[in-house]
Amino acid sequence: MIPMSLAQIASAVDGKLSENADPEAVVTGDVEFDSRKAGPGGLFLAIPGEKADGHDFAAKACAQGALAVIATRPVEAPAIYVDDAVAALTRLARHVAAASRARIIGVTGSNGKTSTKDLIGQLCARMGPTVATEGNFNNELGHPYTVCRVRPDTEYLVLELAARGIGHITELCETAPPTVGAVLNVGISHLDGFGDIETTARAKSELPRFLGEDDTAVLNADDPRVARMAGATRARTLTFGVDNPADVTAADLDPGDGRHRFTLRAPGGAAPVRLRLWGLHHVYNALAAAAVARHLGAPVEAIAEWLSEAGRKSERRMDVFTRPDGTVVIDDSYNANPASMASAVRTLGQLPTEGRRLAVLGLMADLEEQSEDCHRRLGEQARDAGVDEIIAIGEGTEPIIDGADGVTATHVPDQPAAIALLRNRLRPGDAVLVKGSRYRTWDVADHLRAKES
């Protein structure tokens, strides 16, 4: 964190120092809410959880070197007492962002936020000290937590902005105001929070709407709802895309084995890119990252080289590995919605293999009344992509079987049943995709990973 005394922090979070806290002590370490990570010069955030209460670990955190605890009830340690710990963290993050010289980049969209944030983070790290959201830690706790990791020498702060309703992205932007905002796409996801795709688009548009006239909005020219956001922002716009005219684009696109090659064309030149990441969707993620890096001043040739060297940073996202028996596994099990599912089965269909292509598919959650149609369409997409066999897991996935007419398709009640079926069906040299919303296919992926080469 940017060094601050306990007195300054107490003032920033509207808190009160305990009598045993030294107001002149300077916090130079990180703010942590996991006591196991608390360290010298840091600050511990005590949050009540479902299984444990951080207040019970306050003394332990300070014994490990934390200078004080942000707490909402008395603890046996130096403390800053507040009414709401997470709200206090947000206030502290606002102070850190205002004091920092880092250029703040915000990334949002229905799909690809985490992967694109990871790419932007890797590109920015080539240009200077960078802090980026870890994994998809993009909510009301993860967002200020990430901002507070900024240090005096941080030049770039890359933030993933997620929302489950109107106003959420604006709130995140107010905590750490971005000067560059990238909107990747608008798709069908989290309809339990948004209701329909137009409301989703309105929520995502909060990022470009927030930007000022000296800022830059990076927009997907191939997504009509995103492209229209150019008319809703005061910022300069920089577009990316494949099919429609754009400032940053991919020419001579070659799918290869699923790791695409293309010529990156951007203001200032063109250069070849060969991605290490699997799937067409990563071309769009790479173009968005390239647009951000180009705006920040990186040469086109350097951006192309960095993209070609960039790797996967977050778990369970298009993690392709080979088991000792030659079976290729695509673990994309972290989460799922209709667009990411379509991309995943298309990638499976492109994957070179001597055997069959199997897709183990879990429920796409939060689709409300569109769930049945979306799952049926997924079955059709898997069939059209050349998938040889489908295993659909759990309640609500039965329409996948209906849509996959002509393909060997089996519905099973749970993950143990899917694992048992795979033991009988999977043969050496096959390729298998595992994907579903959150935990719904994780056990299957872990079973396959246990035999990873």
Q: Which of 84, 108, 136 is the last residue in one of the domains?
A: 84
Q: Model-level pTM?
A: 0.93
Q: What is the 3 state secondary structure string of the chain?
A: CCCEEHHHHHHHCCCEECCCCCCCCEECCCEECCHHHCCCCCEEECCECCCCEHHHHHHHHHHCCCCEEEECCCCCCCEEECCCHHHHHHHHHHHHHHHCCCEEEEEECCCCHHHHHHHHHHHHHHHCCEEECCCCCCCCCHHHHHHCCCCCCCCEEEEECCCCCCCHHHHHHHHCCCCEEEECCCCCCCHHHHCCHHHHHHHHCHHHHHCCCCCEEEEECCCHHHHHHHHHCCCEEEEEECCCCCCEEEEEEECCCCCCEEEEEECCEEEEEECCCCCCHHHHHHHHHHHHHHHCCCCHHHHHHHHHHCCCCCCCCCEEEECCCCCEEEECCCCCCHHHHHHHHHHHHHCCCCCCEEEEECCCCCCHHHHHHHHHHHHHHHHHHCCCEEEEECCCCHHHHHHCCCCEEEEECCHHHHHHHHHHHCCCCCEEEEECCHHHHHHHHHHHHCCCC
Residue 343 covered by a domain: yes
**Which of 418, 334, 421, 432 minimizes the C-alpha distance to 382?**
432
Q: Which of 54, 84, 114 is the last residue in one of the domains?
A: 84
Residue 411 covered by a domain: yes
48 and 110, same domain (yes or no): no
Number of domains into which the chain is organized: 3
> Is the separation of the CB atoms in 258 and 279 below 8 Å?
yes
Q: Which of 254, 275, 309 is the last residue in one of the domains?
A: 309
Distance between CA 183 and CA 220 in Å, rounded?
7
Residue 314 covered by a domain: no
139 and 268, same domain (yes or no): yes
Residue 367 sits in a domain whose CATH number is 3.90.190.20
Residue 329 covered by a domain: yes
176 and 230, same domain (yes or no): yes
Residue 94 covered by a domain: no
251 and 395, same domain (yes or no): no
247 and 366, same domain (yes or no): no
**Which of 292, 113, 159 minimizes the C-alpha distance to 217?**
292
171 and 264, same domain (yes or no): yes
The two beta strands, 319-322 and 328-331, are: antiparallel
Residue 165 sits in a domain whose CATH number is 3.40.1190.10
Residue 269 covered by a domain: yes
Residue 78 sits in a domain whose CATH number is 3.40.1390.10
- For the beta carbon of residue 8, count every other beta carbon within 10 angstroms: 17
360 and 293, same domain (yes or no): no
Q: What's residue 453's pLDDT?
A: 44
235 and 325, same domain (yes or no): no
133 and 74, same domain (yes or no): no
194 and 270, same domain (yes or no): yes
Q: Which two tokens stand for residue 241?
A: 């895309």
From first to last of its 453 residues, what are the pLDDT tens digits of the chain?
A: 999 999 999 999 999 999 999 999 999 999 999 999 999 999 999 999 888 999 999 999 999 999 999 999 999 999 999 999 999 999 999 999 999 999 999 999 999 999 999 999 999 999 999 999 998 788 889 999 999 999 999 999 999 999 888 999 999 999 999 999 999 999 887 566 677 889 999 999 999 999 999 999 999 999 999 999 999 999 999 999 999 999 999 999 999 999 999 999 999 999 999 999 999 999 999 999 999 999 999 999 999 999 999 999 988 999 999 999 999 999 999 999 999 999 999 999 999 999 999 999 999 998 989 999 999 999 999 999 999 999 999 999 999 999 999 999 999 999 999 999 999 999 999 999 999 998 999 999 999 998 654
Q: What's residue 49's pLDDT?
A: 84
Residue 412 covered by a domain: yes
Q: What's residue 415's pLDDT?
A: 98
Residues of the domain holding 292: 100-309
At CA 103, angle to CA 7 and CA 284, rounded to 5? 135
239 and 374, same domain (yes or no): no
291 and 409, same domain (yes or no): no
**Which of 183, 195, 181, 297 minimizes the C-alpha distance to 241?**
183
Q: What's residue 374's pLDDT?
A: 96
Longest dimension (CA), the chain: 73
How crowded is the C-beta side of 143, counted as CA atoms within 13 Å? 30
Amino acid at 82: V
